Each structure stands twice: as structure tokens, then as C-alpha cells.
Structure 1
């Protein structure tokens, strides 16, 4: 009996799992893949950043005590303060992917020139002055691990850190420099010992400080007055010998409503390429969620007055606005009119190889309104406007523009028997073609933000439309004088050089 009951329970559990798994499976809306070329460029840029960073960093004081047997001195207490790195060189530095682990950083044969103030105390004398310290054969290796926290923020960890400085040459300056330099060599060994004990904790401290900044990034950002974009990490990255791939949620929400859209994301696979530094895959789900969010927020409802139509069409179609206005006013007994366009469903997104289309199901109405009276619908019709979507990257944003492909119109309806409603089709078609679409394209010029850290630009970018997703292939460029602000709120404060954080905690 118990055996049969157990089988029934297991069967129910299996059916339940089969039932809920499709609803709770989450695939990314955006994938970002960094290749070995990105790491190689990161080494070059990293050296520039580190050079600026270490010159501004406060290095902990170095102190200790040593006996000087050749001077018959039991002990000499020394304290090095105001330590500054003036120059350094790491000629053999590399970054490499460690499959399933992270990114290994390696440098050897490094050198550094350091200036410092010093103070010496002993039973026989006490003095202060300056000194120069030359470090050579600097070696460092460690694995940088990228994970995520419960809020989807990226988190960095340093594992297997090993750092060592093999040689240190101290040169004292001052009135008694000849004397001090005579016993500088015995002090180099304890200096190296203390310095080597400090290096990995110092690097770990820098990583922890960076994590504090990363945890404050806004992974849900306001795009405009209609929508929010969630680009949080949904899982830890995949790492192979050739790349690291990040998985971002990539979903739009109506402003003030974080309910997921009533459709699921689907998996997609980035092509196996390595010519560019970065590949960004933007899924059809990303665009569909944007369509649904804007529709839910009412962004696709437009009402234009006679003056707005006339003014805009005069600018865009060389006098067609005046003609349409006169024709419409003739039919509507010379009363001022309004055109109202409303999407009846979220626009349909289709991404096929080389083809990005947007089908807009909507209704269009011409209304007239006399003074002190309610609006009256003169004529209305439903239509589906099929548009082609052109794409370009400007700055750090993906810009879309629509061009009308074809119409599918329903039979117009009118409550005025004296109006030949079929003659309105050309008028309404022209209003959409020369009025509504240009207005929509003007709004689309704001673009969709692409994630870019502080002072990193996307260059030599290429866009491909593939089956079910958009592929952006791009290189990266670090520019210290870049005035372009990062696309996402919070990134502008993630300044690795200054070490200052001005952001606010994410909600």
C-alpha cells in the first residue's frame, strides 16, 4: 500500500514539474559575449587605468624593526610614510579565460619606482628624510571570478592570488645619506617581506571596493515616461577558452508595473565568432516586451489637431498638409477636426534573417468637435500597418526608424450618410504615411540604450538581423576625454580611476 502511494506521489510531483517548468524557465533577453580580443585590449587599457589609479592611491605605511649587527645596534625602528608610486612597468601582462572558472590575470618581470618619507629610531640616533625604492621582478597571478547577487548585480571575487616582489633597492637621501645607504641592503629583506604580505590584501581590498560600487548600480532603469528596462544578470556567466558570455534579463516594463509580460522568452544561440571584441545578442523577446510595455502604458495612442496635422505635413510633404486639411474640412462642413490613432494590440515583432518588421494593428478616427459640444466621430477604420525597421548605432544607443511597407484596411465606418467614406482612405493613408510615422521616428531617435561602462565607447559596430534575434558585433574604445554619458543610470558614477562613488542604492 505504501509502495503504491509513493508511486502516486512521485507521479503527481512529476506532472507538477512538467506543468510549471515552462512558466518558470527564464532565458535571457540579452546576451553579451566578450572575446579574447576584448581581454587583450583590456590589458592595454588596464595598464593606463592602473597607472592613473596607483598614482592617486594612498599606500599603507611600511614599518618594522631590524638589528644592525655590523654597527653593534640592537635594533633600528623604521617607518616609511607618504609612499608614492611614480612609475611602473609590467611588460609581460596577460588575461586569459579559465573555462568554468573566470579570468586569469598574470604579470611578471614588473618594475616600480617609489618615493617615500622615512623615519629611523634607535638607542643611538633618530633621523628623518626621503628615500627612493626600486622594485624589480614583480610577479602577480590571480583568478577573477564573476558571479551575481540576489538582485542581479555583478559581483567580482579574487581567488588564488599570489604576488611577490623579488628585489628591492633602497636609496636614502639627506645629509647622512652615505651612512644610511651603507646599511640599506640589510633593510631590503624585511621591506620585501612586509611588502609581499601586503600585496594580495591590497588587491583584494580594491576588488571589494569595486563590488561595493557594483552593488549600487541601477539594474532597473527608467527609459522614458512610459517604460523601465531590467538588465539584471539572471545567472552566472558561461566561460570557455575563447569567451565569457553574460546573460541579462533584458525585459521592458510599463512605468510603475514590474509584472512580466504574458509571454515567455525563448533560447537563442550566438554564432561562433571571434573577430570582434564584443557580441551583443538582443532577442525578439526584448523587442516584444518593449512593444507590450509601451502598448500597456498607452504610448501608441496619438491625437492630432487640425493645426498639428497641417503644420507637420507642410514641413514633411511640401503642401500636402494644406490639401488634406481642405479636403477634410470640406467633408466635415468646415469644422475643425482631430485625428486619433490608437493601437488595438501590441505591435507584432518579427526578426528573420536580414529582415526586421513591425506590424501595427490600430484604428484611426477623424473626429469633429464644435464649441461647447462633445467630439463626434465622422469616420473610422481599423488597419494593420506593416513597417520595415532600419537600425543604426549612434553613440551608445540603438536607433530604430520605421518605413511604411503596406496597408491592410478594413471597411471604413461613418455615422454621416452624406459622406463618401471610401474617399477617406487616401486621406487617412497619407496622414499615417506623412504624419504619424515621421512623428514616431522622431520619438525613436531617442534610441534604446546599450550597456556601456564609464568612458567606454562602441566602435566599428555592425548590426545583423538573424533568426529570432539581433546581433551587434563591435569593438571597444576607452577614451579619457569622452563626454558621452553612459546609457544606464549609475554607470556614470562607476569611475575606476578616482575610486569615488556618487551613485544611489538600487531599489
Structure 2
């Protein structure tokens, strides 16, 4: 656990699954939902962090006077105050609809130790004045502590989250002071006054610590959350908040843009994210709802970058293949090609006709990419002469997988179907070409794409948080990824 003064609030928003935000009326591509069960887990873990933080509080010295017959007036001072132990119980974190979160802690206990000293002047004769100084130790039992603080969540124009403490209150039910030492019995006569001062000091210090933590530690920590994250040399993902985190009666929703963009040039996509309707489930701690918008913006980026383009030349065909990319090999089914271009090599260049769309249906992910493949003759002059154009269609099923912080995927290809679109060498049967393309796409193109999908893209998690025990559900336009809970990495 990181030893800083914002440990508790940091834990709160580390699980809030944290370009310019979209225009008004657009929908998020990704929504993170923290349920009541998740918030209570955070509250329990946070109270442990708060206990450690309370032990580091520096309490101020305080002084007072005592007066008792027949001794008269004296002066005391309490110093070197430190919290020796504490136990926070009954922690709860609840959504404040329209605002953020409310943290409450009740039925808690603190023990304070320190030193005291007192002085009293006595006059034995008119000309004689004697100053008596004594000291000792004390022990304070502070019981029935309740703490309540409101955390208002917001969003900067840049899309980063913000947090402020709108109010804090603490109350101490009972304070018991035990004073030992030479005049301890005397100071114990004023325990009500002393206990009242301890109560005021501790109540103000607890709230001061929480408010300072939010301002000086948690808010700067949230500012380090990048609104864009690099995926690879081609693409990044925009995780700016669309609006302030939305608190309802039992949960907290965080809306992220979730748009994948080109790192070379940013241009707005021509389609909007669909409206997502999350199931009203509460049995898991954290839910991520990711719409097809996220994947289809990725498809657009990689399509425009040319990543999905390919070419096949004869040296890429297996040595034992009966089909070569030569005009001689094509003689049996394209006779005119061999007559016009005798003993020359061929090259096939393929590209997606448009960016493939990933289709969500209950329990299934699929895509129907359309490719165009153009055949060229490699002339002796090194000029590429176009001779035919093919249309290629296939059905692809997709599988989504996860690790502790990333969404990954895998494509399972179906058999391709080839259609002759245009030919400068006459009409010909495309069956042999279909077999060659099936081999290449299955053994070269799909492994290349799956290698990229295996890298995946990161979920919007703040530093040192991992999710585990995931469950995946696929709906019409969205998949729901839920986790039993998040936890900090070892050593954080």
C-alpha cells in the first residue's frame, strides 16, 4: 500500500474505473459501473489505509490553567501527543445521487499517549516565593468516533476526473484521560476541561487530515490519469470522461468516450456510439460495458493505416504447392493470360473494401469482411500490369478474452468465397485462386491480425489496479465484463 496522505481517497477512485470529450448528445463507448458491493469493498480496504494514516497525525500541544482552594492557580501543558493505536469500524461508502460519494465510519476507537508538565508557585512568607514543577505521562481513550465526509466527483474540460471534499464532520462520544505523575491526582480533578480540549483537537484533526488528503494527494493523483493511452505505433484510445461520474441510489457509473484513433492524424469518425442499457445486476463488484463502437473505431484506424492490406508473390507460396504465382501455372484455367504474358510472375494485392464491422448478437461476435484482390503481371521492365480483380467475402467469428487489465481478442475465420469482378484476360474459373487465397489468409493474414488482437487494449484502470475472476456476457450491441473485485498490485 502506498504510504501517502491520500491512501483512503486514492483507493476510492482507483476502482472508479478512471481528445476532447464528445459533443452533447453523444454516447459513451465504454461505461464502468461500481456497484454497492464494490463500494463496500473499497470502504473496508480504505478504512485500513485510514487507520495507518491516523497513526501519522501530529497533534498540537495544548495548555490550560487550574485553580483549586487552598492552593490557588497553576498552569499545565500537554505535549508530545501521538496516536498510539486506532481501530476504525463500521465503514460504508454510498453514492450521493447527483454528487458523488459519501464515506462514513462509526463506532471507532483511538488511543492517544503523551507527556504533561505543570507548575505552581507557593508563597511561604511575604518575601519568599517557591516555584514547583512536576511532570508525568498520560493516556487518553477516545471511544465512539464517527466520521462523515462527502466526495464530489466532477470532470474537467480535458476529460479528466476531479474530486473535492464538500464537507466533513466528526464526532467523539466519549473521552477518558488517565494522568499519572506527581500532580496527576490534581490534574485529574479537571478531567472534564482536559477531555473537552482533547475532543475538540481530535475532531478537527481528523477532518483536516481527510480534507487535506483530498486536495493535496488525491486530486493531483487523478490528474495523472491520461485521457489518451497508446495502444501501438498506429493507434491510441481516448478515455476522456463524457461527463462527471454519475451516482445513483445503489451504484456509480463512469462514462468514457472509448474511441480508438490514429496517432498519425486524428479525424472524427462518421458514426456515433449506440445507446447502452446495462443490466440492473448487483452481484458483482465492477462491471464494464463496452459497445461495438470501440471495436469499430479500431477497425477504421487499422483499415485507414493500411495494416490490413497484403500482397502475395510466388516466393511466399510453399515450395511443394502445385499452384505457383506464374502465368505458366495459371495456363490451365486462364489460357489467354499465359499467351499474352508468357513465363512471367504474378502478384496478388489485397485490401479491405471497407473497414470491417464487428457485429454483436446475444452470445456471439461476428464480422463479414469484404476484400478486393487485384492480380498483376510483373513485366520484365518491373512494371506491374493489372489483369484481373476479385471480390472476396467470408464470415468470421470473434472471441474476446481478458487478462487482469486488458481486453484481447481472437478471430476464427470461415472459408472464403471468391468472385471475379473484372478481367482483362477473359472470363476464367476462380476455384484454384480460391484455394490459394484460403491457404494464404488462413496461414498468414489471420495469424498477423490475431497477433495484434492478442496485444489488445487497456481498460481504463488507474495505476496499480488489477481485476480478477471475470465474467463475460455478450448482448446485442455491447458486451458486459464484470469482476468480483479489484486489487492493487504487490508492492504498490
Q: TM-score range by the shorter chain?
A: 0.7 to 0.9
- The partner residue of 1:409 within 411, 415, 418 is 418
Residues 392-401 or 187-196, more deviating: 187-196
Instruction: Tell me how far 1:32 sits from its aligned partner.
Output: 1.5
Corresponding residue for residue 49 of structure 1:
49
Residues 457-466 or 90-99, more deviating: 90-99
- The partner residue of 1:94 within 92, 95, 99 is 92
Corresponding residue for residue 4 of structure 1:
none
Corresponding residue for residue 60 of structure 2:
62
* Structure 1 position 38 matched with structure 2 position 76: no
Residues 211-220 or 257-266, more deviating: 257-266
Give the secondary-structure state (helix, strand or coil) at the position aligned to 1:470: strand
Instruction: Tell me how far 1:396 sits from its aligned partner.
Output: 1.5
**Superposition map of 1:443-482 within 5 A:** 443-481=452-490
Given that 1:412 and 1:422 are in contact with CA atoms closer than 8 Å, whether structure 2 keeps it comes out as: no
CA RMSD of aligned residues (A): 3.4
Instruction: Tell me how far 1:362 sits from its aligned partner.
Output: 2.2
CA offsets per residue over residues 286-329 of structure 1, 9 Å max, x none? Answer: 2221211222233222346666x46xxxxxxxxxx443486336
**Superposition map of 1:3-18 within 5 A:** none
How has the CA–CA distance of structure 1 residues 172 and 437 changed in structure 2, closer, same or farther, with 3 Å as cutoff? Answer: farther
The structure with more radius of gyration: 2
Instruction: Tell me how far 1:203 sits from its aligned partner.
Output: 0.9
Q: Distance in 2 between matches of 1:115 and 1:306?
A: 85
How has the CA–CA distance of structure 1 residues 183 and 298 changed in structure 2, closer, same or farther, with 3 Å as cutoff? Answer: farther
Instruction: Tell me how far 1:156 sits from its aligned partner.
Output: 1.7
How has the CA–CA distance of structure 1 residues 235 and 210 changed in structure 2, closer, same or farther, with 3 Å as cutoff? Answer: same
**Superposition map of 1:200-219 within 5 A:** 200-208=207-215, 209-219=217-227
Given that 1:238 and 1:246 are in contact with CA atoms closer than 8 Å, whether structure 2 keeps it comes out as: yes
Q: Distance in 2 between matches of 1:365 and 1:139?
A: 74
Given that 2:74 and 2:118 are in contact with CA atoms closer than 8 Å, whether structure 1 keeps it comes out as: no
Corresponding residue for residue 183 of structure 1:
187
Corresponding residue for residue 150 of structure 1:
157
**Superposition map of 1:432-451 within 5 A:** 432-451=441-460
**Superposition map of 1:53-132 within 5 A:** 53-55=53-55, 57=56, 59-70=57-68, 72-80=72-80, 83=82, 85-115=83-113, 118=115, 120=117, 124=131, 132=139
CA offsets per residue over residues 359-399 of structure 1, 9 Å max, x none? Answer: 22222356676898355557652323321111121222111
**Superposition map of 1:256-295 within 5 A:** 256-295=264-303
Q: Distance in 2 between matches of 1:352 and 1:402?
A: 16
Give the secondary-structure state (helix, strand or coil) at the position aligned to 1:328: coil
Q: Distance in 2 between matches of 1:220 and 1:125?
A: 69
* Structure 1 position 299 matched with structure 2 position 307: yes
How has the CA–CA distance of structure 1 residues 215 and 122 changed in structure 2, closer, same or farther, with 3 Å as cutoff? Answer: farther
Give the secondary-structure state (helix, strand or coil) at the position aligned to 1:69: strand
Corresponding residue for residue 223 of structure 1:
231
- The partner residue of 2:320 within 310, 320, 323 is 323
Corresponding residue for residue 358 of structure 2:
349
Normalised TM-score (structure 1): 0.77
Instruction: Tell me how far 1:282 sits from its aligned partner.
Output: 0.8
Residues 66-75 or 347-356, more deviating: 66-75
Q: Distance in 1 between matches of 2:172 and 2:185?
A: 21
Residues 207-216 or 415-424, more deviating: 415-424
Q: Distance in 2 between matches of 1:37 and 1:23?
A: 33
Give the secondary-structure state (helix, strand or coil) at the position aligned to 2:27: coil
Given that 2:314 and 2:325 are in contact with CA atoms closer than 8 Å, whether structure 1 keeps it comes out as: no
Residues 458-467 or 235-244, more deviating: 235-244
Which has the larger helix fraction? 1
Corresponding residue for residue 11 of structure 2:
none
CA offsets per residue over residues 16-66 of structure 1, 9 Å max, x none? Answer: xxxxxx9852111111221111122112222333344445x4x23412220
How has the CA–CA distance of structure 1 residues 305 and 41 changed in structure 2, closer, same or farther, with 3 Å as cutoff? Answer: farther
Q: Distance in 2 between matches of 1:305 and 1:52?
A: 66
How has the CA–CA distance of structure 1 residues 339 and 252 changed in structure 2, closer, same or farther, with 3 Å as cutoff? Answer: same
- The partner residue of 2:405 within 396, 403, 406 is 396
How has the CA–CA distance of structure 1 residues 413 and 160 changed in structure 2, closer, same or farther, with 3 Å as cutoff? Answer: same
How has the CA–CA distance of structure 1 residues 269 and 127 changed in structure 2, closer, same or farther, with 3 Å as cutoff? Answer: farther
